[in-house]
Amino acid sequence: MAVFTPSYPLTLPTATGVKTQNFGLRRTTSITQSPFTLQQQVYQHSGEQWGATMTLPPMLKDTASIWLSFFLQLRGVRGTFKIGDQDRKTIQGTATGTVRVNGASQVGNQVALDGFTASRANVFKAGDYIQINSYVYMVTENVTANGSGEANVKIEPALRTGVEPINNNTTVIYLNTTTLMRLDSNEFNWDTDHVSKYGISFSCSEAL
């Protein structure tokens, strides 16, 4: 008997929006404190990971079936899908057109980009998201392009160069940004009430 394996990442259903979300960045920074002097030592580790908990609006069986099929095909933590911050699908900045990575082998919390309108202020504003390849980053300072349409953009978290390469001229997405996620658990459950209204929620973490 043939074994069917879905092609990941799966496409997120569009049957409903999201009712509520908790979206944020997890870090592996640790701290120790002396019980005698109360002096502290902070250790900055490299682990950084977006995570989200989302609740879908109540829905009837036909719509719920689309979502249930999607989640079951993920097969717990095995499969991946793309999703982003549902409240920040557009930018506050003035960027238009095609923006690209300007230079190969970039690392850290700053990325050089080009393709902006020359000398335009606030092409991205603090709090905007940009997506490079499969992963999303938040801009942490307002950005002004120089006379050549170039800019250095400060971001969090650091570039995911250890997961996938970031090449020169890679197109940067800044509308409807998403990042690669997987479910936090192998168990998936849903609720129903006396009128067959379904309640569905899920938690996921960035797939690194």
Domains for the chain: give ranges and CATH numbers.
Answer: 20-84+180-206 (3.30.200), 88-177 (2.40.30.290)
183-197: pLDDT as tens digits? 999 999 999 999 999
5-42: pLDDT as tens digits? 899 999 999 888 899 999 999 998 899 999 999 999 99
**pTM above the 0.85 mark?**
yes
91-104: pLDDT as tens digits? 999 999 999 999 99
User: Average pLDDT of the chain?
Assistant: 95
Query: Quick check: 179 pLDDT over 70?
Result: yes
Instruction: Report the DSSP beta bridge partners of residue 33.
Output: 40
92-135: pLDDT as tens digits? 999 999 999 999 999 999 999 999 999 999 999 999 999 999 99
pLDDT of residue 140: 98
pLDDT of residue 1: 67
42-86: pLDDT as tens digits? 988 888 999 999 999 999 999 999 999 999 999 999 999 999 999
The more confidently predicted of residues 154 and 1 is 154
What is the layout of strands, in order, in the sheet containing 20-27? 20-27, 48-55, 201-206, 179-183, 81-83
pLDDT of residue 44: 84
Query: Quick check: 157 pLDDT over 90?
Result: yes
pLDDT of residue 162: 87
Q: Please provide residue 67's backbone torsions phi and psi, each rounded to the nearest 5 degrees.
A: -70, -40
pLDDT of residue 5: 85
